[in-house]
Structure 1
């Protein structure tokens, strides 16, 4: 998960750390230490990773410290001989490399530019003394820069549900996105999660266009034990969702999760239809479901849907298979809306709440995430 992005961030962190040590110490001693340690340390770590891969192919991202990874050790810290100040010239070339590498990892351009700017703010002008932990300073600087990108205003779904329940009305959530992102399955996963927490849920089969969409939603509903409100294929999507809302009101159901047909943002007629759905049903939340594997395309799609219907939040699917990580880093910042959940596997339980701290830890190899390939549907 996020392998390419993680690799580039680790590499950049190590390069900056090494550059600072060289500036503050005796370069010749550092180079000697690198040569001494490099072969033994790298070979040792490669063997560890190989053993890890044999045990579990999903644990390839075994944590390797930054110094071990690039042949440096904590002994090099003794090379800092005097107080120094980090200048922009000291790290400019490294950040230029990172900029290109982030773009290759499908991070959106405006996000790349903001991230580089944030890293400079954190590091340039920083005083380093012989007593400082340069590795920690570098890691924390990049960590903070990334967290600033990821931190959007949060939405507490349970708080919304409880507030509406107190008023005697259901919480209505409409899901939008293009074809094939996994909207229907994501709706089932969220229904399962909410039901596990004790909330009553009804599903609205608002995708009346795709062949088999209603039947797919019905099967999910049967599996998790909730009801579906449906009309015939080709019926008006807004009418189906409206009926589901009335059903929920009449029976005191807590949440209505409404499916809609996948549509390309470039299709003007279909985008007008989704605008009508939102206008008629007046949902509490409009959630965009994006496929993490599509990278920058997911960002573009989210921007287009946001312009059309003002989405409130994002769910990214197929994150467990995302080798690059660009969409997860970019999409929230690009449209100024929070990522709510990540789809990380094939089970109904494989929908996790998004957390910026977890994401940062994951990108720095400090957090292992176990996901299952076992399929429930």
Structure 2
């Protein structure tokens, strides 16, 4: 016999809209932690119900159902049931690109959580069709591919000028996770037909967006994951239209790094030679670590190591280790120094680094927010 909560879950597929609304009102709070097990009732019927409700026209119904789906993504089975529904994921991605969508940001969180699944790479096959392009603004989105449109949302919409209801910050975590897979890495480091631009170059500016940890963290991990294919390193380092290295080094540099001599300073990338007095390092040690891991990946080849030496990366790393009291940062600095200062003999390969995921699945429980708005909690009531 079902419990009262399980019976409440069954109301999600009631034929009466008011009953479904009451069920959602009461179930949002049970979608995290041990209580989330109630959504397994009746062979996970609730997952399909929630996906159906996410397509409704009601702002409240959509926000609540997508919030619950995002929270339930912590469970591998429930996440898979959502991610493997190609029709729903295609709807979700295009709906994020609807510039009148009041629930775009919570949908970005759900999409980021679904990107834990290998099948998420199917988003690269989603293109405009008669059924999904009516709400897509052709003056903003020039590509017929949804991945390109999501990139446009992230890059052009960070200040809410595209959609007053969304800043698209959590797409950074989606990019981070999808770049763990080869199709994702290839997308970010290959020139796209619709605008002739290499996507990773569009993200680099956000490595120093210090008012948004979410963007910095997701972009840093996307850069790192995109560097796992070492054959692309030379182009990423030397192609002036990308200009990758300064955007990895600037977040780990500070105006207080005063003991770099004139010769080394002259060899640094131009962007790091005359830092303003108020230039600070990224305030989050974990993000600095991701950038150091990117530098380690660039040390994979001899050509990469020689390029980093020519750009005075070693003195910069030396200053970082000296001025930051953090054990993990110190350990990574030592590894970079060992790679750059050792002799060039023997195997040209370095140790493997794991592809860094974005944060664990984001749970949405209440309306409390951190002061910087980075771990945004969506109020759905």
Higher relative contact order (CA 8 A, sep 6+): 1
- Higher Rg of the two aligned structures: 1
TM superposition score normalised by structure 2: 0.24
TM superposition score normalised by structure 1: 0.24
